[in-house]
Structure formats: structure tokens, C-alpha cells
Amino acid sequence: MKSELLVSLLPDTGSGDGSWQERAISFVQGVTMSLARLSRAGLVVSNPELFARFVNLQRIENLVHFGVFQDMRGNLVDLRNETVNGRRVRGSGFAQLFAKMKAHDFGLIEFSLNSLPAYTETRPRVPHLLPEFDPMVWIEFKRSWRGPGPGPNGEAEICYPPGRRAAATAIRPETGRSCRARRPSTSTATWNRRWCRRSAR
């Protein structure tokens, strides 16, 4: 019902090509259904302000591609990795919720995103740092975050916060052999901009 109400408010383009309106309707329906599912799970409070916040490219990319968002208590939630503020929450059911959203809701949003010029080549590979995220919580989140798949060289995605020089052992998914993923030696400012650059050693 909410999505139908919002769709009814979209203006008619008046042109014979309804592709713009089709993409807009798909986006509105996908966002509304996703937020409704999070609301039923007790993670957000569904209201117009929440919808307005998620009509934002970086926030919707975080949710759709990575399952990352801020809940109604201000916690940084990672559905796919089942963490809250960088700490694993066992028995949360977050991973199952994320799978349901990908199967039923996110396809509508991705249809709109993929229609943007060159989006498939420029889509983010790591979550965005948003203004509402607490910096200290973000550091904990980065320690625990694992990417949605193997990196371009087959290494698992291991991410480190600024100033941390430790290395971790990861597993190459195609061989099962261990590899080393290290923080690149670069300035903290540059690292903040591309905090999950990977290099297989």
C-alpha cells in the first residue's frame, strides 16, 4: 500500500517513452518493500523521514550491495556478516533476512541502479562511510567486515582501519592456500578514501 501511494505521486513524463517512469516506479517499490521488511524485523521505524533518507545513492548502495545500514538505535548493522557495531550477533537471523531481501526486494532497486550510465563499471566494492556513522564504530566495523566475494586476485577481502599495520592470514578460495593481506603503506587520509584496497602477498 505504501509503495502504491508513493508511485501515485510520481509525475507523468508526458512522453511516449515511459522508461524513466518505469525505473522510478521500480526504485520506489524496491525501497519501500526493503524498509518495510526491516521495520517488521524491528530494525527501523518506518516513516516518511526514513524513506527520504534512503532516497540517497550511497545509503541505498550500502543496503543493497552490502546489507549495511544504521538501525533505529543508531547501531551500524551488517546483515550479511551478522554484526552490530562490528561485533558478531549469533542467532540474529540477519543473514537470512538479507537473503530474503536480495531475493524479493533488491532486484527492483538494482534494475533502476543498473540503468544509470556506466553504473555496472563504477558500482562500489566496499561500503560507503556515511555522516551518521560514528568514527570509532566504523573502525570496529572495518575490522570485522568481509567482502561479498573473492577479490580480483582470488584473495579474501580483509580490511584494516587507519593506522593499523597488522597483517592477517586469508584463504585463497580457488586453492585453499593461505595468503597475506596487508594494509598498503599510504597516508591515513588516502586510506580513509580507499580503506579496503587489497594486495595478495
Are residues 123 and 155 located together in one domain of the fold? Answer: no
Domain boundary among 97, 128, 159: 128
Cβ contact 77:94 at 8 Å: yes
Percent of the chain at pLDDT > 70 equals 64
Domain boundary among 93, 128, 163: 128
Domain boundary among 128, 162, 181: 128
Are residues 21 and 73 located together in one domain of the fold? Answer: yes
Cβ contact 113:104 at 8 Å: no
CA distance 22 to 17: 10
CA distance 167 to 32: 41
Note the pLDDT of residue 35.
95
Q: How far is CA 177 from CA 158, 174, 181, in A?
A: 16, 8, 13
Domain membership flag for residue 8: yes
pTM, whole model, 2 decimals? 0.68
CA distance 184 to 155: 15
86-102 tens-digit pLDDT: 999 989 999 999 999 99
Are residues 119 and 68 located together in one domain of the fold? Answer: yes
Domain membership flag for residue 140: no
Q: Which stretch of DSSP H or E encloses residue 4?
A: helix 2-8
Amino acid, single-letter form, for residue 83:
T
Angle, alpha carbons 58-122-12 (nearest 5°): 65
* Domain boundaries, position 176: 149-201
Are residues 124 and 166 located together in one domain of the fold? Answer: no
Are residues 81 and 179 located together in one domain of the fold? Answer: no
| 144 CA to centre of own chain | 15
40-85 tens-digit pLDDT: 999 999 898 999 999 899 999 999 999 999 999 999 999 999 999 9
Crossing angle of the two packed helices 106-114 and 19-40, in degrees rounded to 10: 150
Q: Give the count of domains, the chain.
A: 2
In whole angstroms, how large is the CA radius of gyration of the chain?
A: 19
Give the contacts of 37 (CB within 8 A, at least 6 positions apart): 97, 100, 101, 104, 105
Are residues 30 and 74 located together in one domain of the fold? Answer: yes
Domain membership flag for residue 84: yes
Q: Which DSSP state fits 13? A: -
Note the pLDDT of residue 115.
87
